[in-house]
C-alpha cells in the first residue's frame, strides 16, 4: 500500500471512514509540512467527527514559538547526560524482567516484556508508582490497541480510557501540590508542577495535556 502511495505521491488523498486526509510520501515535502506551522498548523479538530479535539498534546500539537518554548523547557530532561545516568537502572529493569521469565523457559514476548519494560522505565522517570503498571496497561491497550472491530465503538472505548488517564493525572496534581515540595516523588511529573513559560506558572490544564502526551509516548515499545 505504501509503495502504491509513493508512486502516486508526493501528496496522496486517502479516504478514511466518512472523510479523507492527505498523506505526504516524499521526504522534502514532509519536511516542508512539518517545519511550516503557519501553512500547516497542528490539527485542532477530530479527523473522524470534525469536532474540536478534547485534548491538545503539549508540546507536540503546539505551533511556532509556543512549541519551541516548551521544547527548551523539556530539553534538559532528555539530554545525553541525563539518559546516560539512567543506563544502569534501565539495564537492571531488563535483567529483573528476564530473570523472572527464565524459570518458565518461555514467554509471550510482547505482553510480558516488550510492553512492561519501556513502561516501567517511563513510570520511574516520571516519578509515578510502578506498582500501578497493570492498571495503566489496561488504559493504554484500550487507547492505542483497541480490539473492537467496530471503529466507532473502539473510538468511544479509547475516549473513555483516555478520560480515566486524565482523571488519574488531575488527582495526582492536586495531591502533589498539597505536599511539601521536598517530599514529592522524584521525577518529571513532580518537577513539572513548578515549570514556568515566559515567567508565568504553567497551568494545570497545560500539565494535563503534557502528562497525557507523556503517557502515550511512554507506552510505545
Q: Where are the domains of the chain?
A: 36-218
What DSSP assignment string belongs to 139-193?
HHHHHHS---SSHHHHHHHHHHHHHHHHHHHHHHHHHHHTS-GGGSPSSHHHHGG
Rounded Cα distance between 18 and 4, Å, is 22
What average pLDDT does this structure show over 45-49?
Answer: 75
Helix, strand, or coil (residue 14): strand
36-218 adopts what CATH topology? Cytochrome p450 (1.10.630)
Which pLDDT value is given to residue 219? 62
Residue 44: pLDDT band with limits 50, 70, 90: confident
The residues near 110 (Cβ < 8 Å, ≥ 6 apart) are 221
Task: Look up residue 92 and give its three cell numbers.
Answer: 537492571
Q: Average per-residue pLDDT in the chain? A: 88
Predicted TM-score (pTM) of the model is 0.79
What average pLDDT does this structure show over 96-115?
Answer: 90
pLDDT in tens, 1-28: 889 888 998 999 988 777 888 999 999 9
Report whether pLDDT(86) > 70: yes
Rounded Cα distance between 86 and 121, Å, is 9
Amino acid at each position: 500500500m505504501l509503495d502504491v502511495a509513493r508512486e502516486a505521491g508526493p501528496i496522496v488523498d486517502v479516504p478514511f471512514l466518512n472523510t479523507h486526509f492527505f498523506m505526504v510520501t516524499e521526504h522534502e515535502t514532509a519536511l516542508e509540512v512539518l517545519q511550516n506551522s503557519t501553512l500547516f498548523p497542528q490539527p485542532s479538530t477530530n479527523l473522524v467527527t470534525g469536532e474540536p479535539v478534547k485534548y491538545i498534546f503539549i508540546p507536540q500539537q503546539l505551533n511556532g514559538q509556543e512549541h519551541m518554548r516548551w521544547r527548551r523547557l523539556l530539553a534538559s530532561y532528555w539530554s545525553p547526560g541525563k539518559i546516560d545516568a539512567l543506563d544502569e537502572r534501565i539495564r537492571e529493569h531488563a535483567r529483573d524482567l528476564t530473570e523472572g521469565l527464565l524459570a518458565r523457559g518461555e514467554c509471550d514476548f510482547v505482553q510480558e516484556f516488550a510492553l512492561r519494560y519501556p513502561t516501567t522505565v517511563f513510570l520511574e522517570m516520571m516519578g509515578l508508582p510502578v506498582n500501578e503498571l497493570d492498571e495503566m496497561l489496561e488504559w493504554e491497550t484500550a487507547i492505542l490497541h483497541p480490539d473492537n472491530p467496530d471503529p466507532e465503538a473502539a473510538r468511544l472505548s479509547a475516549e473513555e480510557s483516555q478520560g480515566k488517564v486524565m482523571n488519574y493525572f488531575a488527582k495526582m496534581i492536586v495531591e502533589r501540590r498539597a505536599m511539601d515540595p521536598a517530599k514529592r516523588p522524584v521525577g518529571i511529573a513532580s518537577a513539572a508542577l513548578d515549570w514556568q513559560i515566559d515567567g508565568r506558572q504553567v497551568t494545570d490544564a497545560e500539565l494535563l495535556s503534557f502528562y497525557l502526551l507523556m503517557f502515550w509516548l511512554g507506552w510505545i515499545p
